[in-house]
Every structure is written in structure tokens, then in C-alpha cells.
Amino acid sequence: MRLVQYGDDTPARWMTESDKEALLRAGVRYMDITDYPEALVSSLDNWQPYIPEITRYSDEAAPYIGNLTVAPMKEFLQKFTSFNTRYYKSKTGAESCRWLLSQLKEVSAGASHVTVKEFKHKWDQFSIIARFEGSNEDLKDELVIVGAHQDSVNMWLPSFGRSPGADDDGSGSTSIFEAFRSLSQNGFKPERPVEFHWYSAEEAGLLGSQDVSRAYEKDGKRVVGMLQTDMTGYIGANGEVIGIVTDHVDEKLTDFLKATVDEYADIPYVLTECGYACSDHASWRKIGFPSAFQIETAFDDSNHYIHTTGDTIDKLSFDHMKEFSKVAVGFAVELSHSRSD
Ligand code: BES
Ligand code: ZN
């Protein structure tokens, strides 16, 4: 049996795995809190990070953004979608995370202050954490996080049904892969640590990101800002935009995300809503860390093929995915600096 929560103020309910699968098909958003049934007794002690209002480091970010290229993104997503499914409990889901780990190690091999590590869970598909060490010793327990989820799901046959997950969330995984590649290959040295996360088991109720965020809070780490990047490949009927989610997110960080899109992307943003526990940013927010969320379109305009065999690359644009890489780079560079004015 699993314990499932549907909203901040509604009591959680016990249900079977197959009831949970029915929720996914019905499009009901939830968090599976079986492993974390109690509300967290926070150790944050009113800790509040400084979140800037404007961008200041576009000169520093320019070479990293200039080096973003669609060729490695295409190669990455082609292979990532070739695993039969990236379902968190499947054999191919475990294979796909090992492949992702090897790719991240390969592209960052020349950067000595970058580490790429697995974060293990109770199931076989681990999450992955790629970290740039910060140069400022005083800020070593603070960090900036850019995230996406690596798992996919076929909602009709979760365990073994074909699930390319090209858009959900192969595209976001690709956008932040390319941001990470460019930063690590062009000498990015942040003041405060910056991490890129690829979560396991988002589709099963944010299981991977809950494990990671709880462990970080317990270890005394402090997150200045977390940017989730889930679905970045589909251009809707209303023109090319970046959707900025405004519900269940941190308002100040979301205002800063608007400024970041204005400065670093070449397309405008639209504001949209996604609902409770729509993606991994919710795990960080629940603990009290500021999180924000960028998506491919306004919510109503987004890709309708997700969670099916039809979620394939041919419906997506790599140039669109690259716009989200630019925002990820800008966000990482800007928030990696220490300032409190
Ligand atoms: N990527 C989706 C969320 C999403 C859908 C974002 C459409 C933007 C447009 C995410 O992977 C997802 O499927 N979430 C589930 C909830 C999850 C906790 C099972 C959902 O939205 O039903
Ligand atoms: Zn999904």
C-alpha cells in the first residue's frame, strides 16, 4: 500500500499501486509520501536566501550560451529515447540511468572541480547529481540546483509498455544536459556550488526528488534556488514561448526567472499554472526551499502525447529545447554569485 497526497491541506490517503496507476491515467496530480509520512520538522530556522531582482552577469554567461549547440542534444535524445522505457522500476530504466551517468562523466571529464555521482534509492534507477564546486569556502553549504526528471512512463502499461518519453522529460533532460556540457567544457567556476540533477521516479509521485531533497535538508545544505525543467520540446499552437509556472512555486524566485528569460532567452515567456505536485520543484518547495518551473508552452497548449507510445522526437524542436538551456545557464551563473544588496 502507498500513502498519497493530493494537496497541501488535504489528508493523505492509503491506496494500492494499481490505484496509483489509475490516478496517472486520470491526470490527477499527487505526491507519494509513503517514505515521508510526517510533515518535516524543519531545521531551516527562518533561513531565507537572498534572491536578486535583476540579472547582472550576462557578460560572464555569454561564452557558455554561445557554445550551446543542437548537435549534441540530438545525439543525446536519440539514444535516451531508444530505451524501451525509462520507468523507474524497469530493467531498461536502470540501464538508461547508467548510460546517462556515463555521458555526464564523459562530457565533464576535463573539468577537475566537477563531480558526477549517483544518488541511490530503494529501486534500481538512481538519480544523478553533477556538481560544480564553489570557489567561496563560506558558501560551501549553499547551492543552486537545476533539475529535470530522467524517468518516463507508459500510463497504460507502466512496468514494461514502450515509453520513449521524448518530451516528458527527455527534452528537459536534454536541455539541462547541454547547459551542463557547455558550462563544464568552458571553464565555469561558480562562487557557490551549482548542481544539475536528473531525478528518478518523478512519474511515480516525485519519489526521487523527495529522497534527494530530504537528504539535503538533513545534511544541513541550503538551497538558494531550484529550477525545474520538465518538458521543453513542443511548440504549441500559439507561437514559440517559455511557460513560467506561477502556482505552487516561490514567488520571488519566479520573478527572478522572468528576468532571466528576458535577459537570456530569445523568445518571450507566458505565465501559466500546472497544479499541485506537477513536477519535482514541489519536493523542494515542500521543505521550504525556493523553487521555480519552466515548461514548453502555456499548460493548455502543451504536448498531448505524453505518457504514451506517441511521445516521440519527431513532434519536437531542438531549437526550442535550446532556449531552455540558455535559461538554465543564466539561472546557474546568476545565482552562483554571492551578494546581499
Ligand atoms: N511533465 C509532467 C507534468 C506536465 C504536464 C508539465 C504537462 C507540463 C505540461 C510530469 O512528468 C507529470 O506527468 N506529472 C504527473 C504527476 C506525477 C506526480 C505523477 C501529472 O501531471 O499527472
Ligand atoms: Zn509525466
Mean pLDDT throughout 235-240?
93
Mean pLDDT throughout 287-292?
95
Considering every ligand atom shown, identify the ligand nearest to the alpha carbon of residue 165 and give its number.
2
pTM of the model: 0.97
Q: What is the mean pLDDT of the chain?
A: 96
Flag whether 165 is in a domain: yes
| CATH code where residue 156 lies | 3.40.630.10
**Ligand 1 within 6 A of CB of 229:** no
Question: Is residue 206 scored above 70 in pLDDT?
Answer: yes
Residues spanned by the domain of 329? 44-337
Closest CA to 292 of 246, 328, 241: 246
Task: Output DSSP code: residue 166.
Answer: I
Domain count, the chain: 1
Q: Is 230 a catalytic residue?
A: yes
Flag whether 36 is in a domain: no
Cell reading at 271: 505565465
Considering every ligand atom shown, identify the ligand nearest to the alpha carbon of residue 209 and give its number.
1
Distance CA 276, CA 8 (A): 8
**Ligand 1 within 6 A of CB of 24:** yes
Flag whether 7 is in a domain: no
Q: Which atom of ligand 1 is nearest to the CA of 29?
A: 16
Flag whether 329 is in a domain: yes
Q: Is 151 a catalytic residue?
A: no
- Residue 341: its pLDDT value, please? 57
Flag whether 19 is in a domain: no
Flag whether 133 is in a domain: yes
Flag whether 3 is in a domain: no
Q: Is 251 a catalytic residue?
A: no
**Ligand 1 within 6 A of CB of 295:** yes
Q: Which alpha helices (H) appear in the chain, and where do they start and end?
A: 17-26, 58-66, 70-80, 91-107, 172-185, 207-218, 251-264, 281-287, 318-335
- Residue 86: its pLDDT value, please? 98
Q: Which atom of ligand 1 is nearest to the CA of 30?
A: 18
Flag whether 319 is in a domain: yes
First to last CA, the chain: 49
Mean pLDDT throughout 331-335?
98
Dihedral sign for Cα atoms in the order 192, 101, 111, 188:
negative
- Residue 339: its pLDDT value, please? 77
Q: Is 202 a catalytic residue?
A: yes
Question: Is residue 27 scored above 60 in pLDDT?
Answer: yes
SS3 label, residue 131: strand
What's the 68 CA to ligand 1 centre distance in angstroms? 27
